[in-house]
Structure 1
Amino acid sequence: MSSRLTSDLASGALTEALADIAEDAARVILPYWRNGVVAEAKADDSPVTRADREAEALILERLEALYPGVQTVAEEAAAADGVPAEAADWFWLIDPLDGTRGFIEGRESYTVNIALVRRGAVVAGVVTAPATATTWRSGKPGEGAFRRRFGEAWQAVKVRNRPAAPMALLSHSMTDEEADRLASRHGCVQWQGTDSSLKFCLIAEGRFDAYPRTGPTSEWDTAAGQAVLEAAGGRVMAEDGQPLRYGKPCFANGGFVALGG
C-alpha cells in the first residue's frame, strides 16, 4: 500500500481530500436535482440517473489520481460489472448518490459517500449532503468527527448523551407500524423517517440517538456514515453485537443498529 495513503490517513489529510472530492461530486449532482432528471431501472429495480453515473466517474478518477492502485467497490460499477470476487486488504467503498429515490422526488436527504476500509474495518469516511451544502468527515485516528458548510471552516461534532426520551431515525420505506415497533425495540419513544446515510450524520452531531435497520443494505450505503459516527463517539453494531464489518460476501449487510451516546 502506498505510503501516501497511510501517512494521509494518520495525519487527517486523507479525509480532507475526500471531502473536496465529495463536494465536487455534489456540484456535478446539483444541476440535476429538481430539474426533471430521468431515472432508469437497474437489474435490482433500483433507480439510477446520469447524476449517479457522472458523480461516480469523477470520484473514481480523483481517487485513482491521488491514491493509485487501491481497490474500488462503487455502486454503479458494481451494478454494471458485478462486485469483486473478494475484498483486498485496503479498499474504497463509494456510493455517489445515496437516496436516489428521494433525489428523484426532490427531497433533500441524499448524499455522496466515500469510505476507506482496512482488513474489514472502516477507517475513514466522508458524507456530503449536496442539497444543504454540508459535509461530515472522520478525522485522524482519535481526533473526532467534523462538519462544515461548503467553503467554511470545520466544526467538531459529537454524539449526545442518551436523553430520557431518545429519538430514532428510520428508513422512509417502513410502515408506521413497523417503525413504531423497531423504534421501541431500541428504547426510542419517537422516530422520524429520513433517506440515505444522512441518518448516521444526524446521530453523529447529537440530534438523534439510534438508527436500527432490519432490511438489506449494501456496504457502500453504510461505510462512510459509520466512519463519521464512530469518530463522533457512536457505534454501529451488527446483529451479533460486534461492530459492522466490511468485505462480506457480495458486499452485503445484514441487520444493524447505529447508536449515539
Structure 2
Amino acid sequence: MFYRSRMRNRLSEDLASGVLAEALADIAEEAAAVILPFWRTDVVATTKADDSPVTLADQQAEALILARLAERWPDIPAVAEEAVAEHGAPERPGEWFWLVDPLDGTRGFVQGRESFTVNIGLIRDDAPVAGVVTAPATRTTWRSGASGGGAFRRRFGDPWQAVRVRERPAAPVALLSHSMTDEEAGRLAGRHGCTAWQGTDSSLKFCLIAEGRFDAYPRSGPTSEWDTAAGQAVLEAAGGRVMAEDGQPLRYGKPGWLNGGFVALGG
C-alpha cells in the first residue's frame, strides 16, 4: 500500500510540474519512429473482431508505449486499443489510468494518408488530466502542459511553442470524419453553427482546433475512449472544451470504453 501511494504521489508531482507531459511526448515520438518505416509501404492490415483494421505498426508501437509507461510509472494501469482487441475490455482500473491508441487512423495510414496519430492520455477520476498527440507523418507533437499551464506544439527536435484556441469567428469552420457523406457532414456542421467543414482523420482534429485553425469537431457516431482522451486533454489545455450529448464534459471509464456523440469546441 505504501509503495502504491508513493508511486501515485510521484505521478501527481510529475503531472503538476509538466515533467509527465514532456516524458509522454518523448514516448509518443519514439513510437512514431517505430511506425514510420511501415508507412507508404505494402503494410498488410488484418481485421479485428469489431471490423477495424490493425497492422504490425499498431502492435509494435503499442508494445513500446506500454513498456515505457511501465518503466516510469509501474503502478499505473493502462487500457490500450490492441490489448483490448486481443484480450477483451477490462474493468475500470481505478482512480488513475492511461488510455493508449498507438496508431489512430489506421485506415488512412494503410491508404498512405498523413493524418494518423499516436495518442497517450492520462485519466484521473474519469477526466483527462494530461495528453500527448503525435502526428508521425508531419513530425509534429501536441501536448498539455503542467497543471493549468496551457498547451504546446513542436516539430520533432524543435522547441515547444504555446498554442491556444481562437475566438469563434463570424464564419466558423468544422472538422469532420472522412467517413461521412457530404450531406451528413454539412448537416452536422450546420447544427453547431459552422458555415463550412473539412474532412480529416484521427485525433488530429482536436489538435487543429487547439492551435486555432478550426472551430468545432462534432461527432455523432461511436468512438472508443482511447480515440479521444489525449486529444481532449490537449484541447482543454488550449482553452477549448469537449462536451457529451448531455452538455457535460466528456468523461472516461464508461462501460465498454465507448463514447456516445460529442462536440469538441474552440473559443
TM-score (ref. length: structure 1): 0.99
Per the alignment, in what secondary structure is the counterpart of residue 10 of structure 2? Answer: helix
2:23 to 9, 17, 25: 17
Structure 1 stretch displaced more, 127-136 or 2-11? 2-11
Aligned residue in 2 for 1:123: 129
State the SS of the aligned residue for 2:63: helix
RMSD of Structure 2 on Structure 1 (CA): 0.6
Look up the match of 1:42: 48
Give the one of 87, 90, 93 matched to 2:93.
87
CA shift digits 1:134-154 (9 cap, x unpaired): 000000111100000000000
The number of residue pairs the alignment matches comes to: 261
Q: Does 2:70 align with 1:64?
A: yes
Identity between Structure 1 and Structure 2 (%): 77
Once residues 92 and 188 of structure 2 are traced to their aligned partners in structure 1, the CA distance between those partners, rounded to angstroms, is: 33
1:139 aligns with 2:170: no
- Find the partner of 1:148 among 154, 158, 172: 154
Determine the structure 1 residue equivalent to 2:175: 169
Matched, 1:223 2:216: no
Q: Write the letter of the residue equivalent to 2:131.
A: G
What is the alpha-carbon distance in structure 2 between the residues aligned to residue 147 and residue 65 of structure 1? 25
CA distance, structure 2, for counterparts of residue 121 and residue 108 of structure 1: 29
Partner SS, residue 62 of structure 1: helix
Local SS of the residue matching 1:117: strand
- Aligned residue in 2 for 1:108: 114
Distance in 1 of aligned mates of 2:78 and 2:94: 9
Aligned-partner SS, 1:242: coil
Match of 1:52 among 35, 51, 58: 58
Q: Within the alignment, does 1:260 sit opposite 2:229 as a pair? A: no
Deviation, 1:4, is: 1.8
What one-letter code is carried by the residue in structure 2 that aligns with 1:171? S
Is the partner of 1:142 in helix, strand or coil?
coil
User: Which position in structure 1 is the counterpart of 2:198?
Assistant: 192
Q: Secondary structure at the match of 2:109?
A: helix
Q: Does 1:206 align with 2:212?
A: yes
**Cα deviation code 1:142-178 (max 9, x no counterpart):** 1100000000000000000000000000000000000
How far is the alpha carbon of 1:85 from its aligned partner? 1.8
CA distance in 2, matches of 1:119, 1:170: 29
- Give the residue type in structure 1 aligned to 2:214: F
Alpha-carbon distance in 2 for matches of 1:103, 1:65: 29
Distance in structure 2 (CA, Å) of the matches to 1:41 and 1:249: 23
Equivalent AA in structure 2 for residue 15 of structure 1: A
Q: Which stretches in structure 1 are left out of the alignment for 5+ residues?
A: none
Q: CA deviation at 1:87?
A: 3.2
Deviation at 1:84? Answer: 1.0
CA distance in 2, matches of 1:69, 1:28: 25
Show CA shifts across 1:186-226 (max 9, x none): 00000000000000000000000000000000000000000
Q: Give the aligned residue type for 2:252.
A: Y
State the 1:27 CA deviation: 0.2
Q: What's the offset of the Cα at 1:62?
A: 0.2
SS at match of 1:212: strand
| TM-score normalised by L of structure 2 | 0.97
